[in-house]
Structure 1
Amino acid sequence: MTVHFIGAGPGAADLLTVRATRLLAASPVCLYAGTYLDAAVLEHCPEGAHLVDTQGCDLTDITAEMLAAHERGEDVARLCSGDPSVYSAIAEQTRRLDAAGVPWDITPGIAAWTATAARLGRELTVPEVAQSVVLTRAQRDSTAMPTGESLEAFAATGSTLVLHLAIRRVRELAERLSAHYGEDCPVAVAYRVEQPEEILLRGTLADIADQVEAHDLRQAAVIVVGWALRAEDFVESHLYSSRRARAADSGGGLR
């Protein structure tokens, strides 16, 4: 018996990995966050599977379901929104499973922010515009951010910012970020990206809050901020530059 933590990606059934669908089909128990995924994802589960929507469960409830399955000798598919490496709470869950002697493994998924970039048709790292992507979140009714991980500190680098769990504070965050990026800095918001209910908003730090509030978005959304979203006049990557090609043709190479 194994608990399989599976990245459900942005929640679209056809964006699961082949491994994810195989594990879902072989697991008699599936725990999933109904808030973040399309119900079609569950069609990969076997007929008669025990399905548990965890959006109303706490960590103790979730662990109890896993331990009960362990006692029955049944594999568990634990679907995580996006990729399990970010904001999935698997650290807390696996710590409890380790203490109980329950085996587990992890299957990666497509992160919602990468799906957002794809839908926007944008690369988030553009030469001499932004070469770093910062994944962070807002802190309100949640655990405190570590010392030094302030929004202003990240914004000061000029990197492309991806904000999770922040949609309810978009107006406040836009005002704070404007001091570093400028009010005309491009912003994109993706709600339930790649799902039937998908909403993609494009704007600036000056108007994005009005758009979000007009659509009454309160959860399941990713915010992307940075000049890479609008970059048009930029240098070409050194990897594909003509200078590199000329050096290769001359036999000199590049080191």
Structure 2
Amino acid sequence: MKVYIIGAGPGDPELITVKGRRLLAEADVIIYAGSLVNPALLQYAKAGAQIHNSASMTLDEVITVMEEAVAMGKKVVRLHTGDPSIYGAIQEQMDVLAAKGIEYEVVPGVSSFLAVAAALKREYTLPEVSQTVIITRLEGRTPVPAKEKLASLASHNATMCIFLSVHMLEAVVAELIAGGYPPDTPVAVVQKASWPDEKILRGTLATIASIAAEAGVDRTAMIVVGKCLDGKYALSRLYSPDFGHMFREAK
């Protein structure tokens, strides 16, 4: 038996991977991040599965449940929101499991920043607009390295997806403008992407804080910044008739 660390996806129960759903259905013990994971995913659990909500648990308590279950020959699923490798706090869990000699496997998931792109119906990497996506957050209780401050990253004017920061939106805006994004840069705030109560707000750096405040959006939301949102871009060379590659000759 081993521990499976699984990305649950952004919220829609159908956006968990096929492998993730199979393992969830086979699990004897499920520990899910209840503050973020859609509880509708627990419909895939088998009858009699032991289910723990880790929102009220410490790391030691989570590890104890895993260790005791594996010792009894049970299959354990640790269910994280989105993809567990992004702000999932899984490294500390994996390191403890490895130190204890407990085998584990990570199953990737659909991250919320990808669900947000789908909700917005926008491509992050548009020709002659941006070919870089920066995934980051504003400094809060978790510190951010000096070179990764928002103002420093903003100097690239790339597409930026900002996690865990919507409750500090005014500070986010100030940092981004100080770093070089013009005040008229398009911004979108998407709350609970792919959930039934998904909410999309659009504006610019100059207006988005007041728009979000008026809508009461201050948690469980992604901030997307960049010119990819304004609809202007060059066509891809990949499908141009005068562009040849190994699968198609230029015309």
Q: TM-score, normalised by structure 1?
A: 0.92
Structure 1 residue 215 displacement after superposition: 3.0
- Give the 5 Å matches for 1:172-183: 172-179=171-178, 180-183=180-183
Show the counterpart of 1:52. 52
Structure 1 residue 245 displacement after superposition: 5.0
Unmatched 5+ residue regions in structure 2? none
- Rounded to whole Å, the distance in 2 between the matches of 1:242 and 1:152 is 41
- Rounded to whole Å, the distance in 2 between the matches of 1:161 and 1:78 is 29
Name the % identity: 37
Show the counterpart of 2:241. 242
- Rounded to whole Å, the distance in 2 between the matches of 1:241 and 1:153 is 36
The one-letter code matched in structure 2 to 1:151 is L
Show the counterpart of 2:208. 208
Contact kept, 8 Å, 1:126 with 1:231, in 2: the verdict is no
Show the counterpart of 1:61. 61
The one-letter code matched in structure 1 to 2:104 is W
The one-letter code matched in structure 2 to 1:31 is I
Show the counterpart of 2:26. 26
- Rounded to whole Å, the distance in 2 between the matches of 1:249 and 1:130 is 26
Contact kept, 8 Å, 2:139 with 2:149, in 1: the verdict is no
Show the counterpart of 2:170. 171
Show the counterpart of 1:92. 92
Tell me how many residue pairs correspond in the alignment. Answer: 248
C-alpha RMSD over aligned residues:
1.6
Show the counterpart of 1:218. 218
- Rounded to whole Å, the distance in 2 between the matches of 1:138 and 1:96 is 28
Aligned-partner SS, 1:134: strand
Structure 1 residue 124 displacement after superposition: 0.5
- Rounded to whole Å, the distance in 2 between the matches of 1:211 and 1:218 is 11
Show the counterpart of 1:184. 184
Show the counterpart of 2:196. 196
Structure 1 residue 220 displacement after superposition: 1.8
- Rounded to whole Å, the distance in 2 between the matches of 1:62 and 1:224 is 33
- Rounded to whole Å, the distance in 2 between the matches of 1:57 and 1:146 is 28
Unmatched 5+ residue regions in structure 1? 251-255
- Rounded to whole Å, the distance in 2 between the matches of 1:159 and 1:249 is 31
Q: CA deviation digits over 1:116-156, x for unaligned, max 9?
A: 101110000111111000001111112x2123112122111
Q: CA deviation digits over 1:57-96, x for unaligned, max 9?
A: 2211211111121222111111111112211111110000
Contact kept, 8 Å, 2:138 with 2:149, in 1: the verdict is no
The one-letter code matched in structure 2 to 1:161 is M
